Amino acid sequence: MKVVVSYACDLEDIPQNAGELLNNLMEQFYVAEHSLEQAIEQSQDNAVADAMETIDSLRQTLAKIDLRLMDCASILAGYSKTNADIRLGHDPSQVAQGTQEVVPQDILSAVGDTHVNSEKTQND
């Protein structure tokens, strides 16, 4: 079961806190790397059932990593949006009241970052 955990911190501490969350992912990357190496060995040793089980475990680990990366991206996007709202003269106390899902491209374009990735998908 997934739950949402939140806590309050000073606005200026958000990038540091997000960095700590990202740093905590390093252990999960090591676990994923080990699992991949194990799956390779099992596959090459014709231990197909074991390889499939290890691959499934690896995929679950990667999914957890992806969720944490999405959390960090959302935190940093919210931080950027709040700073942009403050620069635009919006009341910071009202800005902080609501929670809003944003993607980094929305924030970067709102604050005038010219390096926004504007990839478009094409259906074949």
pLDDT tens-digit series, residues 55-64: 999 999 999 9
The length of the chain, given as a count of residues: 124
The answer to whether residues 51 and 39 touch, using CB atoms and an 8 Å cutoff, is yes
DSSP run (H or E) holding 57: helix 48-87
Count of CB atoms within 10 A of residue 61's CB? 18
| Stated pTM of the model | 0.67
Task: Show me where the domains of the chain are located.
Answer: 18-110
Cα–Cα distance between 7 and 20 in angstroms, integer? 14
pLDDT tens-digit series, residues 78-106: 999 999 988 888 876 665 555 555 555 55
The answer to whether residues 68 and 27 touch, using CB atoms and an 8 Å cutoff, is no
